[in-house]
């Protein structure tokens, strides 16, 4: 159930929180520019860690501290992308900041105003173009010199407009416990990049799309990562903090699968740029819509056929299959149907259990969600190496 719990945790590590001063939120700043420890009497942590897969959370003044502008940049293409964006950055962070000795806190440095500025187009004073490619003069005071997306080139032709590459920014903060309290130990930044730029040719006209290749979005993401790190190094207390950056490739708006991280890197020792870039070979396929001919797809098709023949009211049976280096590593199955009584839910869940054991791929984590118009009805999950499923039927 790792991914399910990660989603619940990630929901609290949302995007772009209020930018409090280090003196207000994280103690005084020492003479070398690093952050001092938080006062032990004001800051603590959740005492229970569910497993080594999850971070404990930092608690200040007896409360978990959400960001006041936490919804400023939830602008991914879909909820599938949003969940994958957040949980994927948590997984990347674990490679740099161990869950054994690090605690997680919502991002405290990129407030909504800053992030929205960065997500905009670079717009200098002078002659330019609006979002539809119409010529305009940018007056002083209306410029955006912080925009990470490139300036509009003025083209109104499909596939020739300079696209919006960066769609959203995610920040996660990590702390360690010291003798006198807690101190900031690292930051992770996620950059959600578009694979398709959606725009309108005229203000109320038809919509158009520009495809962006993976190579192009990675190159743009790396350049933006250097600019972001350079700017964050100017923030008090972040002069020497390790900053991890992950580049996330969004799926299109109509996709039933979330995106994946395609590259990760880190800025250490106060560097103003990101180095040590690693390309991540992960992909997600939606069965039965994608996948071509494969053993996994055939197994899922057999599972789907048996489930559909048992229960007449099914309206959808799909699965999201995650691959790393072309090897299946996990699967999430969604079944949507209409129930008329508790006995139907129980009977259907038992049948799904039997068919899942019989047909779904072995030796990988699998989650099966059974829902109706009333919400979640039942849930099944199996961890790597297990043969039996955990099950729960909701009242």
Q: Which of 34-48, 151-165, 296-310 has the lowest mean pLDDT?
A: 34-48
Q: Which of 71-85, 170-184, 226-240 has the lowest mean pLDDT?
A: 71-85
Q: Are residues 336 and 272 in the same domain?
A: no
Please say if the pLDDT value at position 48 is more than 90.
no
Please say if the pLDDT value at position 229 is more than 60.
yes
Q: Are residues 258 and 317 in the same domain?
A: no
Please say if the pLDDT value at position 87 is more than 50.
yes
DSSP state of 61: T
Q: Which is more confident, 133 or 261?
A: 261
Classify strands 196-200 and 275-279 as parallel, antiparallel or unpaired.
unpaired
Q: Are residues 295 and 220 in the same domain?
A: no
Domain boundary among 260, 280, 300: 280
* Structural domain containing residue 375: 284-393
Task: Calculate mean pLDDT across residues 214-224.
Answer: 97
Could you read off the pLDDT of 149-164 as tens digits, one per residue? Answer: 999 888 877 778 899 9
Question: What is the C-alpha end-to-end distance of the chain, expressed in Å?
Answer: 20
Cβ(228)–Cβ(189) below 8 Å: yes
Q: Are residues 55 and 132 in the same domain?
A: yes
Question: What confidence score (pLDDT) does residue 100 get?
Answer: 87
Closest CA to 250 of 170, 330, 172: 170
Query: What is the CATH number for 118?
Result: 3.10.570.10
Task: Calculate mean pLDDT across residues 97-101.
Answer: 89
Domain boundary among 234, 259, 280: 280
Q: Are residues 389 and 246 in the same domain?
A: no
Mean pLDDT across the chain: 83
Domain boundary among 261, 280, 299: 280
What pTM was computed for the model?
A: 0.83
Q: Are residues 126 and 189 in the same domain?
A: yes
Q: In percent, how much of the chain has pLDDT > 90?
A: 55
Task: Calculate mean pLDDT across residues 287-307.
Answer: 89
Q: Are residues 233 and 357 in the same domain?
A: no
- Where does the pLDDT of residue 218 fall: very low under 50, low under 70, confident under 90, or very high at 90 and above? very high
Q: Are residues 272 and 297 in the same domain?
A: no
Structural domains in the chain (count): 2
310 three-state secondary structure:
helix
Task: Calculate mean pLDDT across residues 171-177.
Answer: 90
Q: Are residues 171 and 81 in the same domain?
A: yes
Which of 3-17, 21-35, 299-313 has the highest mean predicted lDDT (pLDDT)? Answer: 299-313
- Where does the pLDDT of residue 28 fall: very low under 50, low under 70, confident under 90, or very high at 90 and above? very low
Please say if the pLDDT value at position 43 is more than 90.
no
For residue 349, give Cα distances in angstroms to 18, 42, 110, 143, 391: 44, 47, 45, 58, 8
Which of 21-35, 98-112, 203-217, 261-275 has the highest mean predicted lDDT (pLDDT)? Answer: 261-275
Q: Are residues 236 and 294 in the same domain?
A: no
Question: What confidence score (pLDDT) does residue 49 get?
Answer: 47
Cβ(132)–Cβ(156) below 8 Å: yes
Please say if the pLDDT value at position 343 is more than 60.
yes
Radius of gyration of the chain (CA): 23
For residue 138, give Cα distances in angstroms to 57, 66, 113, 122, 200: 45, 36, 20, 12, 21
Q: Which is more confident, 152 or 132?
A: 152
Query: What is the CATH number for 310?
Result: 3.30.300.190
Q: Are residues 30 and 156 in the same domain?
A: yes
Question: What confidence score (pLDDT) does residue 311 get?
Answer: 83
């Amino acid at each position: 159930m790792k991914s399910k719990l990660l989603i619940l945790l990630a929901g609290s590590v949302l995007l772009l929180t209020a930018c409090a001063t280090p003196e207000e939120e994280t103690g005084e700043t020492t003479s070398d520019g690093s952050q001092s420890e938080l006062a032990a009497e004001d800051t603590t942590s959740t005492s229970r860690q569910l497993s080594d897969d999850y971070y404990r959370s930092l608690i200040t003044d007896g409360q978990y501290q959400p960001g006041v502008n936490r919804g400023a940049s939830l602008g991914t293409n879909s909820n599938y992308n949003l969940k994958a964006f957040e949980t994927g950055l948590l997984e990347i962070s674990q490679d740099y900041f161990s869950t054994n000795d690090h605690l997680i806190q919502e991002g405290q440095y990129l407030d909504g105003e800053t992030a929205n500025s960065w997500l905009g187009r670079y717009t200098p004073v002078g002659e330019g173009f609006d979002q539809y490619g119409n010529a305009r003069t940018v007056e002083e005071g209306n410029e955006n010199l912080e925009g990470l997306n490139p300036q509009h080139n003025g083209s109104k032709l499909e596939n020739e407009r300079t696209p919006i590459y960066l769609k959203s920014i995610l920040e996660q903060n990590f702390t360690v416990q010291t003798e006198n309290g807690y101190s900031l130990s690292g930051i992770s930044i996620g950059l959600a990049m578009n694979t398709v730029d959606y725009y309108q040719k005229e203000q109320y006209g038809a919509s158009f799309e520009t495809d962006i290749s993976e190579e192009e979005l990675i190159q743009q993401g790396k350049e933006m990562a250097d600019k972001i790190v350079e700017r964050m190094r100017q923030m008090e207390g972040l002069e020497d903090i390790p900053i991890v950056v992950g580049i996330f490739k969004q799926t299109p708006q109509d996709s039933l699968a979330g995106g994946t991280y395609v590259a990760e890197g880190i800025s250490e020792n106060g560097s103003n740029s990101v180095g040590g870039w690693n390309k991540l070979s992960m992909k997600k396929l939606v069965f039965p819509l994608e996948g071509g001919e494969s053993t996994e797809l055939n197994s899922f098709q057999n599972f789907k056929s048996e489930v559909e023949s048992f229960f007449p009211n099914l309206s959808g049976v799909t699965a999201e299959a995650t691959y790393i280096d072309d090897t299946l590593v996990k699967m999430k199955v969604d079944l949507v149907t209409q129930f008329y009584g508790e006995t139907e839910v129980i009977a259907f869940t038992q049948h799904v259990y039997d068919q899942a054991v019989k047909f779904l791929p072995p030796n990988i984590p699998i989650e099966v969600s059974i829902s109706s118009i009333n919400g979640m009805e039942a849930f099944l999950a199996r961890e790597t190496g297990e043969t039996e499923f955990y099950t729960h039927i909701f009242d």
